[in-house]
Structure 1
Amino acid sequence: MGSHVILGGGIAGLSTAFYLLKQPSVKRIVVLESSSRLGGWIDTTRNKDGTIYEHGPRTIRPVGPQGANTLEMIEELGLVDSVRSIKYGHPSTTNRMILKDGKLHKLPADLISQFKKLPPFQSPLAYYILKEILRPAKKDSDVSLYEFINRRFGEDVANYAVDPLVRGICAGNSREISVHFIAKYLHQLEQKHNSIVKGYLIDWLKYKINPEPKTAAENCNIVKQARSEHWSVWGLENGLTTLTETLSQYLTANGVEIFTDYHIDDMKISNGSCILQGGSTLTCNHLTLALPAFNAANLTSGINGELSSTLESIPFVDVGVVNVMYKGNILKNEAFGFLVPSNQPDPILGCIFDTCSFRQGNRTILTLMMGGAWFKQLFQHKSKEEMVEIGMNSVSKILGINQTPMDIKAKILPQCIAQYTVGHLDRVAKARQIIKKEKLPLSLVGSSYDGVGINDTILSARRSVLN
């Protein structure tokens, strides 16, 4: 393969370089980042008093092959001692709340609660699950997540379980987001067995009789520890930026060339190689676009119009993130936080109780999430200061907080989360098929394509290198 250039120094680009180092055929690896910092949307602020704010993701799930793959990387990077785990049963794993009519309601979190009628639901969750067996199936290749959950479990579950969950994960509108975003397996069960519950029971029996083989990553000590100790999520000491910092240091120590503040003015393909014009001219045998799809679309516009327009069709949303610090423990309930369904009038998406998960001395730190699919509607003509005031008034009223914050730090993250709207898988498949058909020396990796989470992004990078 010779030389390989990666555009983008976020977790996708850095992970791609990490896996390329394992390929003997790759002789030179270059990472080019247009901004002044590495890490992308993984962004930690470390305050002078020792407290930290996370402006992007803050924890990572260990479950499944994706989770094991990330933990395997953590072990290789020597970060095991920096891992801070949260086990199932911790208040942040059992207490998750939904706002309805100005009141917070705890979501059912154990088997017994599934059989109780708990607001905001009109019936016990077990009722919706049992009723699902009798609901008629509908054959389709893709549908909005809201429509799918509504037809299988009813409006209550769609409005107060899935809708706010989507707002919390990708700041998106469940009426537009594809069922494949977080419920691909459930949709497959319906399509194959005409019922999620029946299909799940059939698969469960098959798995018990013939378990799937474990991936190599499952043999890592830290993965075994996560499984035996029943981790729900994990983070890193001094914030998740520790991951991208350590990863970039590892790459540099192993010969990867990393440049920040590097802008590409033009890109061409000639004789099977990519030629990049920027601060200098770079030629490589293969180019990985570890960029948001809209940036990749701009760069490929002169190479293949159909590829560029396909990438341009992937939508993104802006998100406002407000980190707030108070003195002492001011919360009435220990919990992960709360989410706000889109049918409620409150102007925030949700609020994370950061210091419930990881203590930071005698402090309460909250993170407000605002905007997303509703950013233009709510905040397009407002300043950042006005956005903060709206968010603070809302969360103070909901949580009954009268205390003045010690500190507030707000950021508006433009086009930060890709929206996997209906047809997303087809769009991504089409883009990669164009690359394959035209024999373009390009790869697409990152949260624009194969999942918005850190685990998904890292696994996307690994697969792009191995395939």
Structure 2
Amino acid sequence: MTAILGGGISGLSAAHYALENPKLAPLVILEASNRVGGWIRSIKQPDGTIFETGPRVIRANSHDLLNLIEELNLSSKVIPIKINHPAAKNRYIYTDNVLHCLPNSLKGIITRNTLLNRSLSSLLWNDFKATKVHKDDESIYSFVQRRFGKDVSEKMVAPILCGICGGDIHQLSAKSFMTNIFETEQKYGSVFMGLVQKKFSNILNIKKEKETKLGNTNKTQKVVKSNNTSLHLVERARKEKWSVWGLEGGFEKLPQTLAENITKRGVNIKMKHNCERITFNKNYVELIVNGNVEKYSHVISSLPAKNLANLIQKQHPELSKELYSIPTVTIAVVNLQFSENVLPIDAFGVLIPPKEEIPILGIIFDTCALPQNSKMTVLTVMMGGAWFEKYFGKCSSEEHLKMVAVKYTNQLLSINEDPKTYNVSILKDCIPQYIIGHAERLTRIHDYISAHKIPLALCGSSYHGVGVSHVILSAKEAVSNINQCMI
């Protein structure tokens, strides 16, 4: 019998993959709140407008997630945004009192742009002349500044990381957030030369694989019809050149449908069941849930690392300390609905570098990517993150947050009207921060669990990625690790 802690997208996904192994059954999900989905939430307004307080679109290269969408029969609900769509091409940075569009074409890369006052191709020269420094890890700010320049670090990378995780690049780990680029520099001495060499090696490997498969060309394969609706989603995304995609009716449709699916297949989802303590015994795991003792053979935790740390602190203080050392930030999300199309530009949105000292992280143009009504505009303003207490203190009212969101939305986008309606959500401790040394900390955590033979698997955003696709993959790998231990 396996307990899965947390009914967010990672916990639900863990149950989905665990169903493939009968030895893990029966499966029970313990969710402390009264709903599934975690930070994924779509709030439907009386007029049918949807406000997203969490993720709304996903990158098209998330193959595991597209396959899951297909398994859940949600393919018809997918709304693709192709690479030539304004929401895919146009992404703005606000700095020096001006909106700057990030270069989105070859011409934009080789010509001088207003954001950096130089071309992106100049980054090649910076990278070539930069001295390789052997490091186990360093801050994103230090890495980018060293290889590409201070302007790239402050004006481009800093706001992008604000949009991804609300984090401060002076604290965030280059090794954990920019793994491929960081490791490429450490191995080859140059990011660009390393990427070129790796690309060339991949081409050679693909060529060898094709040659190996030549002997199997006589094997029959399923014929794919010309109608794109008959293609698998991963293939459709590639063929139609999707950039990102969303879901009709709101992104919360994903965890809701996944919960319905696994429930029909035998998973017991217990709402308002709060796990208060975990004790690992020789032949079973004892959980205190709502004051009652429950026994399981395995535990999969999708809880934030800090929450799990509290549950095991008494028995495993060393492991608890490591888990507790993964910090989080709080994000305030303000959804604004305007009665007309008030946007001066068509784009995915605009991000603001921390150096501007403006109390918002960015603005997402929801109805540009996912139109709901041609006569209205829905925007989402993100605030706080690593700077929540700086700008809003430990306790800020929803009215104050709304006022700040409207003020800067009107100022940055030259909007001269108040929103028709709004919603304010304060997502406390919602995004983990992979600070310098995060990779080494994860190694110590997994080594401790392995050395003490603890029947515990970890998944969720605290460990190997904060995006939806990352946490679904982490759930799949967590179940795989349990399966290997059972062999």
TM-score (normalizing by structure 1)? 0.96
SS in 1 for 2:332: strand
- Residue 342 of structure 2 corresponds to residue 337 of structure 1: no
In 2, Cα distance between equivalents of 1:374 and 1:53: 24
In the alignment, the residues of structure 2 paired with residue 239 and residue 50 of structure 1 have an alpha-carbon distance, to the nearest angstrom, of 11
Residue 100 (structure 1) aligned with residue 95 (structure 2): yes
SS of residue paired to 1:125: coil
Contact 1:272 1:441 in 2 (8 A): no
> Cα distance, 1:448 vs. partner?
0.4
Please state if 1:135 is matched with 2:142.
no
- Out of 399, 407, 411, the position equivalent to 1:385 is 399
Residues 206-245 of structure 1 correspond to what in structure 2 (within 5 A)?
A: 206-211=201-206, 221-245=232-256
Q: Which stretch shifts more, 11-20 or 261-270? A: 261-270
Cα contact 1:298–1:308 (8 A) shared by 2? yes
3-state SS of paired residue (2:330): strand
1:428 Cα deviation after fit = 1.5
Which residue does the alignment assign to 2:319? 307
Root mean square deviation of aligned Cα:
1.4
- Contact 1:272/1:440 (CA < 8 Å) preserved in 2? no
Q: Which shows bigger deviation, 278-287 or 338-347?
A: 278-287
How much has 1:239 moved relative to structure 2? 0.9
Instruction: Confirm or deny: 8 A CA contact 1:122 1:156 kept in the other structure.
Output: no
Gap regions ≥5 residues in structure 2: 211-223, 225-230, 482-487
**Counterpart pick for 1:182 among 177, 181, 203:** 177
Q: Do residues 396 (structure 1) and 391 (structure 2) align?
A: no
TM superposition shift of 1:131: 2.9
- Whole-Å Cα distance in 2 between the matches of residues 256 and 312 of structure 1? 30
Residue 281 of structure 1, CA deviation: 2.5
* Preserved contact between residue 7 and residue 29 of structure 2 (Cα < 8 Å): yes
Is the CA contact (8 Å cut-off) linking 2:88 and 2:243 kept in structure 1?
yes
CA contact (8 A) 1:17 1:256 kept: yes
2 CA distance for matches of 1:166 and 1:57?
A: 15
Q: Matches of 1:450 and 1:159 in 2, distance apart?
A: 25
Within-5 A mapping of 1:433-444: 433-444=447-458
Given that 2:432 and 2:462 are in contact with CA atoms closer than 8 Å, whether structure 1 keeps it comes out as: yes
Instruction: Check conservation: 2:109, 2:121, Cα contact below 8 A.
Output: yes
Residue from 343, 352, 365 that aligns with 2:378 = 365
Provide the rounded CA distance (Å) in 1 between the counterparts of 2:474 and 2:462: 10
Residue 425 of structure 1 is matched in structure 2 by 439
Q: Which moved more, 1:129-138 or 1:53-62?
A: 129-138
How far the C-alpha of 1:264 sits from its partner, in A, is: 2.0
| 2:218 alignment counterpart | none
Percentage of identical aligned residues: 39
Q: Choose the corresponding residue for 2:267, options 241, 249, 256.
A: 256
SS at match of 2:138: coil
Tell me if structure 1 keeps the 8 A contact 2:458–2:478.
Answer: yes
1:215-236 Cα offsets, whole Å, 9 max, x none, are: xxxx981111111111111111
Distance 2:122 2:202 in 1: 26
Residue 265 of structure 1 is matched in structure 2 by 276
After superposing on structure 2, the runs of 4+ consecutive aligned residues of structure 1 that deviate more than 3 Å are none
CA-CA distance at 1:402 after TM superposition: 1.1
Deviations 1:202-256 (A, max 9, x none): 1111111112979xxxx98111111111111111111110000000000110000
Equivalent-residue separation in structure 2 for 1:168 and 1:211 (angstroms): 35
The answer to whether the Cα contact below 8 Å between 2:176 and 2:439 also exists between their aligned partners in 1 is no
Q: Does 1:413 align with 2:424?
A: no
Q: CA deviation at 1:117?
A: 1.3
1:180 offset after TM fit, Å? 2.5
Tell whether 2:465 aligns with 1:454. no
Partner Cα separation in structure 2 for residue 272 and residue 459 of structure 1: 29
Q: Number of aligned pairs?
A: 458
- Secondary structure in 1 aligned to 2:354? coil
In 2, are the aligned partners of 1:17 and 1:251 still within 8 Å (CA)? yes
Shift of 1:345: 2.1
2: distance between equivalents of 1:128 and 1:7? 45
Which letter maps to 1:453? Answer: G
